[in-house]
Structure 1
Amino acid sequence: MSLLLSFLLSASAQAISDRAATPQVQAQLVASVAAVQPGAEIYLGVNQQIIPHWHTYWVNPGDSGNATSIAWTLPEGATASDIIWPAPSRFSMGPITNYAYENTVTLLSKITVPANLQVGDSFTAIALVDWLVCKEECIPQQVELALSLPVVANAAKTGAGSAYIQDALARLPIASPWPVRAVQTAINPDTAEGTLHLQVDFSAAGTAVQDQLAQIKDVWFYPYDWGRIAQSAQQVRADLAEGVQLTIPTGEAPLALGDSLRGVLVIEEQQGIARGYEIHAPITAAAPDNNPAKSSFGFLTALLFALLGGVILNLMPCVFPVLSIKALSLVSHAHYSARDIRRQGYVYTLGVMVSFALLALLLLLLKAGGNQIGWGFQFQSPIFVLLITWLLFSVGLSLSGVFFIGGSVAGVGSSLTEKPGYSGSFFTGVLATLVATPCTAPFMAAALGYALVQPPVQLLAIFLSLGFGLALPYLLLSCWPRLQRWLPRPGMWMERAKQLLAFPMYAAVIWLVWVLVQQTGASGVIVALGGCLLIALAAWLYNSTRTSSDKQRHMGTGIALLLILLTIAGGVNQLDTSERSAQKTAADDNWEVYSDTRLQQLLAEGKPVFLNFTASWCISCLVNERVALSTQTVKDTFQQQGIIYLKGDWTNKDPQITAFLKKFNRSGVPLYVFYAAGNAANPEELPQILTPDIVVAAVTGQ
C-alpha cells in the first residue's frame, strides 16, 4: 500500500511543479536538504515573492485579512507540523491595522520522514497553498506545489538545501531572554475596554538597561490570537528603570486573569535590524492605582486635606453666597442668647455633616453596583441639574421678598418652625452642601481621590472631614462671641443686603440653565424657564393669600403646591425625551475633543500634549479656562511649543474620562495634565487653580 501511495505521489509530482505564480505572488516549495534520510526531520517551506506594495498575512491577520494556509499531502507515515511563522510587520490603512509580510517570506513546516522508506526511492510532498494578497483591494489565491527528494542512506549524503530555509529560520522568533509581565486592568463593563501593560525586565539578563534602551528604535507586540488587543491602537512605549513597558488597549476578546498571553515582541534596533521574541506570560491584575504618590498619602493626611479643602470651599463662588446668608442671620439674631446662637451653629453643622454622610453612602451604593463615579457626579444628571435650578430660583424669590415661610428676614427657611431658626439652619447646611458639589478647592482633589479607593469606613470619615471643614467658619462665628463683635448692628440695611444676596442665586440659575443646555440641547431651556415661571406664580399665590381668610389661604397653598408638583413631574418627563438629543461638544480652533485613542496616537508620535478635563457644571473649571487657558498668552505658548491641546468634557457621564481620572487618583474635575514631547512615562499634573504663568511655566519647563 505504501509503495502504491509513493508511486501515485511521485506521478502527481511529475505533473505538478515546485513553482507557481499569480500576477502578485511567485511561490516555490523548498526544502532544508537536497535528499532525505529515513526517520529524519527536515523543513519544507513555501517561499512567496510578493510584488511591491502588496502583502500576505500572518497567523493573526489583525483587523482584516486571512492567514495563509498549507494543506500537505505526504507519503504514508510522514507528518507535518503547523506553519512556523516568522515575525510579521504591521500595515495600517486609516483605522485598519494588519499583521502581514511584504517582499519575501518563507513559511516553514517541520516534516518527519517515515523510517520505512527504501534507499533509492523518492520522498514526495504536495502542498495546496491558499493565501489572501492585498494592496488597496484583496485577492484570494491558491496554488499547488510539489517537490520530490531522493532517499539516501545517511545524513552525510543529504546535501545542502535552499537558502530560503536558512533565511526563514533566522527570522523565526526566539524565546524571550527576559522576564515578561502582562498586567491587565479590569474590563470596564460600560465600554468593554481595558488596558494591557506589557513589562519587559531587561535588568534580569544582566545587561546595562540604559544601553539596551538606547539601542531600541521601535518595539511592538503581535499577539498570536485575534482580539487580545486593539490592533489599530497605538502601543505607548515607556522606558523604565528596569526595562521597557508597552501600554496597549485591550481588544474585543481580552484574556481573563490567569490566562496565558501568547505572541511575538518585535524589537527594531537603531541599525534597522528587527528581532522577534516569543512571549508566553500569564495575565495578572493591575493594582487599583499605579500612582507612586499614593503610597505616601495616608489616611490622616487625607483627613487633613479634606478639612482644609472644606474650609477653602467656603470662598468658592458656589458656596460664598450661602455662607453670607448665614452670617446675615447671626446679625438678625443678635437678641438671642449666646447659647441659642451656638445651637444655630451646631444645627447648621449637623445639616452639612448629614448631607455629606448621605452623599458618601450614595457613592458607596453606586460603587457597589459597578458604577464609576466621582465628586460632583450628581450634576451629570440633567434631572438633578433641573431640580437644583428650581431650588435656587425659589431661594432667590424668597430673598427678594416674593414669599416668606415664617417671619425671619434672614436665613433661607430660617423660620420653618417656631424654634429660633433651627430647621432653617439645618436646611441651609443641606443647601450649602448641594451648591458646593460643583466646586473643587485646593487639597480636595487628592483627598477625594484617595477616599474613593478606600474601605467604606475611611471613605465616610474623609467625607465627614470635608463637611466639617465646610461648616467650620460659620461654626466658629456662632461659638466665638469675640468674632461676632466684628459684625455690624441690625438695621434696615439687612433687608437690602438680603435682597442683594438674591442676585447670586439668580446668577447661579442662569449658569445651571446653561449647563442644562450642554446636557440636553435647546429644549432644556424651555423646560427650565417654564418651570421657573410656574414656581414664581406658585410663590406669588402662596404669599398673596397669607392675609386672606382661612379658606382662601388654604386654597392658595393648595394651588401653589399643585403647580410645584406639576412643574416637577412635567419637567422630569420632558427631560427624559430631550436628554437623548444632547450633542457632544465640538472642538474649536485651538483644542481637540479628548479620546483615549487620540491621546495614545499623539504620545506614540512623541508629541507634547496638554489635557484639560472639565465640565460645564464645574465652576472652578470654567474660571480656570477663562483666566488662564483661554488667554492669548497661553494660546501663543501652545502654538510656539507645538502642543496639542485635548479637552475632555465630563458634563455628562463618560466612563473613558472617569477611568483616566482614576489613573491620577482623582475623583472629579478639574484635572490638568501635561505630557512633554517624547516623555509619555512622566506626565506632569498641574494644580486645580491655574494662572497663565503656572501653565506657561509647566509647558516650557521654566
Structure 2
Amino acid sequence: MLNVYRVILGIILVLGMPCTQASPGPDAATDQVRASLIASHTAVHPGDEILIGVHQQIIPHWHTYWKNPGDSGLPTKIQYQLPAGWSVGEIQWPTPSKIVLGPVVNYGYHDAVTLLSPLRVAENAEPGTEWPISAKAKWLVCEEACIPQEVELAIQLPVVAKGVAVGPTHPLITATQKSWPVELPWQASLLEGPAGTLRLHFTGEQLPAPDNKALAFYPDRWGPISHAGEQITSVADHGLDISLQAGDQPLSPGQTLTGVLTVGSGDALRAYQISAVWPGTANAIQAEPASALAEQTLPTALLLALAGGLILNLMPCVFPVLSLKALALIEQAAHDPGKTRRHGWAYLAGILVSFTGLAAVLVALKAGGAGIGWGFQFQSPWFVTILAYLIFAVGLSLSGVFNIGTGITGLGHKLAARDGYAGSFFTGVLAAVVATPCTAPFMGAAIGFAITQAPAAMIAVFLSLGTGLALPYWLLCQWPILQRWLPKPGVWMETLKQGLAFPMYATAAWLIWVLARQAGPEAVAGALGGCVLLALAVWLIQISRNATQLKRRVIHTSACVSLLLALLAGELGIQTSSQASYATDSNNQHWQAYSAEKLAQLRSAGKPVFVNFTADWCITCLVNERVALSSEAVRGAFLNAEVTYLKGDWTNRDADIAKVLSQFGRSGVPLYLYFGPGAQEATVLPQILTPDLVIGAIQGARL
C-alpha cells in the first residue's frame, strides 16, 4: 500500500505542485553517503587539463559499485554540465574490492572512493572570470538492502592567466591517483583450460608467488568470467597461471578480456591493467551445422509462415479478438455482402500493415547490431503497460461502460467512422499485436530464417505470416456461402459481447502479472493506478454525451487529464521500480536457472540435460510448462533418467539467450533442447509439447 501512496505522490509532484530545493553546492549528503565535487586545483588556466570528480564518503557496512558491479548492483554515474568549449572524459576508476554476499560476488567500494575524470578547459576561457561546473551523480548504495540515490553538486572554477599559481593539488586527488591500476610489467595471454575454464597466463621477470589470497582478477565487464567462480593460481609453462571459470557470456575467438589484477593486500596492494586476447572458443552450446535453418529456402519459409499464421488463430492470445470479429461478421451478414467484403479487406490490411511495421523495426534493430527476435517488444515494461491499458479499455467497452464505435470491432469513435472500416482495420492491428506473445508450429523455423535474410525476404515472410493470421476471417467475408454456418443475429449477441469482456480483463491481468515479473511491485502499482484513471476517463466521456457544450468541454478536459495521469502513473511505476527480474525462481527443486557455465559443466560431466528457453509473456511457453513440463509423468522421467532441467528466462532482455536462439535458427521462445548422456549435439523438440514428446526424446536418446 505504501508503494501506491508513493506513486500518487509522484504524480502530484510531476503535475507541478510547488516545492522548494536548495541550490546545489559542492557538498550533498544522504543517510548513507556524503558526496563532494572536487577539482585538482582551486583555479585553472585557459586550455588546462585538470581532474574533476565526486568523492563519496560511505558510512560503515555500506558500499557503492565499480564500473562492473559484478553479479548485481549498478555503477555510479556522473553527468556534468559544463560551460561552452569545456569537455570532460570518462571516469578513471580506482581499484575495487570484492564484496561477497553468499553466492553473490560484487565489486565496489567501502568507506570512501573518489571518481575522477579529466576536464579540459576551453582555450578561450577569459582570465579573471569564474565558471560554474555542476554534476548530477547517481549511485546505488547497499548493505542488506539497496537504495538508489541522486545528488546535484556545483562548484565555481576561476580562470587565471597563464603563469599565475593555481594552488596545490587536492590531497584526495593525489591519494586517488595512487589507487589507479598501472601498466602490467609482465606479458599476459589467455589460454584454454579444462572444460568451463580459462587460463590467464603471465610470463616475465619477478612474477608474484602463486598465492590464491594475494592475487585476484577483476573483469571490467559482465559476462566473460564468473564472478563467484574460484580463481586458482599455480606455476605453469615457466610462468604464472590464474585459472578462471567462464561466465554466462563466453568470449568469442578474437575478443579481448580486460580487467584489473591485484597483487598483495592492504598498504602493499598493487593493481595492474590486464588485456589478453582469447584465441579459442567458449560456446557452451553448438547447434548442428545441417540445421533446418540452413536447409530452408525462401519459398519453404513463406509456406511455413502461412501455415503458422493459420494455426495462430487457434492460440489463446488471439481468441478474444477473433471472438469479437465473429460477432461482427454475424452482425454484418444481414447487410450488404459488398460491405462485408470490404470489412474483410480492412481487417486484412490492418494485420499486414502491422506485420510490415514489425518487420521494419526488426530490420532496423538488426542493422544496429541488436540481438532481437519474435515478441521482443514484450521485453519492454512500457509496451506491456500500454497494451494492458488498451486491452482493459476494450473490456470496458464490451461491458457497456462506454461505446467506442458504431460497430463492435471499432477501437475509437473516429477510427470506427466511415461505416466502421477503420474499426476493422484497427482490430486487425490489435489482432497482430496480441498475437506476438504466442508461437504456433512452423513459425519458429520461418521467422528464424527471416531474421537471417535480407530486408525484402524478411518482410515477405512476415507478410505471409500475417496473411495466414487474417485468412480465415477474410475468407468468411469474401464468400457469403460460408456465412450460412454462422448463427442468426439476436439478443444473445449483446449478452455474449458482454461476456467477452472477461477474457479481455483476464488478458490485462496477465499483462500486469508479466509487468510484475519484469519490473517489480512499483510498476504494478503504477499500472493498476493507471487502469483506475483510464476507467475514470472513459466514464467521464460517456456521461458527457447529454451535457451542454460548456459542460462537455470541461468533462472532456478532465478526461484528458485523467488519461495523462494514467500514462504518468505507468511511467512513474516503471522508473521507480527496482528493475529486478522476478521471473526466475532458482529455489524451485524441479529446475535450475540456466547459465552457459552450468550447462557446460553438466555436459562435460556426461550428464543428460533438458534446457527450456522461455518467457513470462510467451503464452505458448506457459501452456507447455503447465501441460507437459510440470506433469508428473515428465517429472518422473527426468528423475529416472537423472536429467537436469535448466530454465533460461527471456522475459527481460538477455543477449546470451538471444545468441543461443540464433544458433538454433530461432528468433524467439520457446526453444527446447535435450542433450543426452555424453551427446555432442542437442535434440531440438517441437514448439508445442506434450508429455509423450518429452518422454520420447529422453527415452530415444538412451536407446
TM-score norm. by structure 2 comes to 0.62
Cross-structure match for 1:451: 450
Q: Secondary structure at the match of 1:507?
A: helix
**8 Å CA contact 1:382, 1:519 repeated in 2:** yes
C-alpha change, 1:589 and 1:249, in structure 2 (3 Å) is farther
**8 Å CA contact 1:515, 1:616 repeated in 2:** yes
Distance 1:593 1:97 in 2: 26
Distance 2:578 2:239 in 1: 41
Letter of the structure 1 residue corresponding to residue 652 of structure 2: N
Letter of the structure 1 residue corresponding to residue 454 of structure 2: P
Letter of the structure 1 residue corresponding to residue 373 of structure 2: G
**8 Å CA contact 1:674, 1:699 repeated in 2:** yes
**8 Å CA contact 1:345, 1:474 repeated in 2:** yes
Distance 2:385 2:619 in 1: 17
Give CA-to-partner distance per residue, 1:530-575, whole Å, 9 cap, x none: 1111111111111112122222233322221221122113312331
Q: Deviation at 1:335?
A: 3.3
Q: Deviation at 1:586?
A: 2.4
Q: Secondary structure at the match of 1:325?
A: helix
Give CA-to-partner distance per residue, 1:624-654, whole Å, 9 cap, x none: 0001101111111111111111100000000
More displaced 10-residue stretch of structure 1: 577-586 or 500-509: 577-586
Give CA-to-partner distance per residue, 1:381-417, whole Å, 9 cap, x none: 0010000000000000001100002343455548734
Q: Secondary structure at the match of 2:419?
A: coil
Distance 1:529 1:452 in 2: 36
Distance 2:199 2:467 in 1: 54
Q: Deviation at 1:599?
A: 1.0
Letter of the structure 1 residue corresponding to residue 577 of structure 2: S
Distance 1:509 1:442 in 2: 25
Give CA-to-partner distance per residue, 1:424-479, whole Å, 9 cap, x none: 00110000011000000000000000000000000000001101111101100100
C-alpha change, 1:287 and 1:643, in structure 2 (3 Å) is closer
Distance 1:319 1:690 in 2: 20
Cross-structure match for 2:245: 232
Distance 1:226 1:248 in 2: 22
Letter of the structure 1 residue corresponding to residue 665 of structure 2: N
Letter of the structure 1 residue corresponding to residue 574 of structure 2: L
**8 Å CA contact 1:305, 1:443 repeated in 2:** yes
Cross-structure match for 2:572: 573
Letter of the structure 1 residue corresponding to residue 573 of structure 2: Q
Distance 1:232 1:132 in 2: 21
- Output aligned runs, 1:103-182, within 5 Å: 134=210
C-alpha change, 1:325 and 1:414, in structure 2 (3 Å) is farther
**8 Å CA contact 1:68, 1:131 repeated in 2:** no
- Work out whether 1:589 is the aligned partner of 2:570: no
Cross-structure match for 1:524: 523
- Work out whether 1:309 is the aligned partner of 2:312: no
Distance 1:562 1:289 in 2: 56
Distance 1:697 1:383 in 2: 41
Cross-structure match for 2:426: 427
Cross-structure match for 2:338: 339
Q: Secondary structure at the match of 2:647?
A: strand
**8 Å CA contact 2:375, 2:668 repeated in 1:** yes
**8 Å CA contact 1:413, 1:423 repeated in 2:** no
Letter of the structure 2 residue corresponding to residue 372 of structure 1: G
Distance 1:351 1:417 in 2: 13
Show structure 1 runs of 5+ residues with no match: 1-66, 70-81, 101-106, 108-127, 140-188, 195-221, 236-246, 256-279
Q: Secondary structure at the match of 1:688?
A: coil
**8 Å CA contact 2:517, 2:616 repeated in 1:** yes
C-alpha change, 1:451 and 1:649, in structure 2 (3 Å) is same
Distance 1:288 1:625 in 2: 24
Give CA-to-partner distance per residue, 1:194-238, whole Å, 9 cap, x none: 9xxxxxxxxxxxxxxxxxxxxxxxxxxx999999x9953399xxx
Letter of the structure 2 residue corresponding to residue 528 of structure 1: A
**8 Å CA contact 1:410, 1:498 repeated in 2:** no
Give CA-to-partner distance per residue, 1:142-196, whole Å, 9 cap, x none: xxxxxxxxxxxxxxxxxxxxxxxxxxxxxxxxxxxxxxxxxxxxxxx996769xx
**8 Å CA contact 1:329, 1:411 repeated in 2:** no
Cross-structure match for 1:697: 696
- Output aligned runs, 1:19-168, within 5 Å: 134=210
Cross-structure match for 2:349: 350
- Output aligned runs, 1:506-655, within 5 Å: 506-578=505-577, 580-583=579-582, 585-587=584-586, 588-655=588-655
Distance 2:221 2:477 in 1: 48
C-alpha change, 1:223 and 1:456, in structure 2 (3 Å) is farther
Show structure 2 runs of 5+ residues with no match: 1-183, 226-235, 259-277
Q: Secondary structure at the match of 2:485?
A: coil
C-alpha change, 1:287 and 1:525, in structure 2 (3 Å) is closer
Letter of the structure 2 residue corresponding to residue 670 of structure 1: P
C-alpha change, 1:461 and 1:190, in structure 2 (3 Å) is farther
- Output aligned runs, 1:433-472, within 5 Å: 433-472=432-471
Q: Deviation at 1:290?
A: 4.1
Q: Which has the larger radius of gyration?
A: 1
Letter of the structure 2 residue corresponding to residue 617 of structure 1: W
Letter of the structure 2 residue corresponding to residue 366 of structure 1: L
Cross-structure match for 1:675: 675
**8 Å CA contact 2:200, 2:244 repeated in 1:** yes
Q: Secondary structure at the match of 1:485?
A: helix
Q: Deviation at 1:606?
A: 1.1
Distance 1:230 1:328 in 2: 66
C-alpha change, 1:397 and 1:389, in structure 2 (3 Å) is same
C-alpha change, 1:406 and 1:136, in structure 2 (3 Å) is closer
Distance 2:621 2:348 in 1: 27
**8 Å CA contact 2:672, 2:684 repeated in 1:** yes
Q: Secondary structure at the match of 1:647?
A: strand
Q: Secondary structure at the match of 2:463?
A: helix
Letter of the structure 2 residue corresponding to residue 628 of structure 1: A
C-alpha change, 1:359 and 1:191, in structure 2 (3 Å) is farther
Cross-structure match for 1:296: 295
Distance 1:89 1:656 in 2: 20
Aligned residues between the structures: 479
Cross-structure match for 1:253: 256
Cross-structure match for 2:180: none
Q: Deviation at 1:656?
A: 0.4
**8 Å CA contact 2:516, 2:523 repeated in 1:** yes
**8 Å CA contact 2:661, 2:671 repeated in 1:** yes
More displaced 10-residue stretch of structure 1: 298-307 or 366-375: 366-375
Letter of the structure 2 residue corresponding to residue 496 of structure 1: T
Q: Deviation at 1:298?
A: 0.6
C-alpha change, 1:361 and 1:193, in structure 2 (3 Å) is farther
Give CA-to-partner distance per residue, 1:6-26, whole Å, 9 cap, x none: xxxxxxxxxxxxxxxxxxxxx
Q: Secondary structure at the match of 1:672?
A: strand
Give CA-to-partner distance per residue, 1:69-115, whole Å, 9 cap, x none: 9xxxxxxxxxxxx9xx9xx99699x9886779xxxxxx9xxxxxxxx
C-alpha change, 1:292 and 1:576, in structure 2 (3 Å) is same
Cross-structure match for 2:358: 359
Letter of the structure 1 residue corresponding to residue 612 of structure 2: N
**8 Å CA contact 2:210, 2:240 repeated in 1:** no
Distance 1:68 1:543 in 2: 76
Q: Deviation at 1:590?
A: 1.5
Q: Secondary structure at the match of 1:578?
A: coil
Q: Secondary structure at the match of 2:686?
A: coil
**8 Å CA contact 1:673, 1:683 repeated in 2:** yes
More displaced 10-residue stretch of structure 1: 568-577 or 662-671: 568-577
**8 Å CA contact 1:591, 1:647 repeated in 2:** yes
C-alpha change, 1:490 and 1:633, in structure 2 (3 Å) is same
- Output aligned runs, 1:493-512, within 5 Å: 493-512=492-511
Q: Deviation at 1:324?
A: 1.2
Distance 1:98 1:405 in 2: 65
Q: CA RMSD in A?
A: 3.8
Letter of the structure 1 residue corresponding to residue 695 of structure 2: V
Distance 2:381 2:628 in 1: 28
Distance 1:370 1:129 in 2: 42
Letter of the structure 2 residue corresponding to residue 232 of structure 1: Q
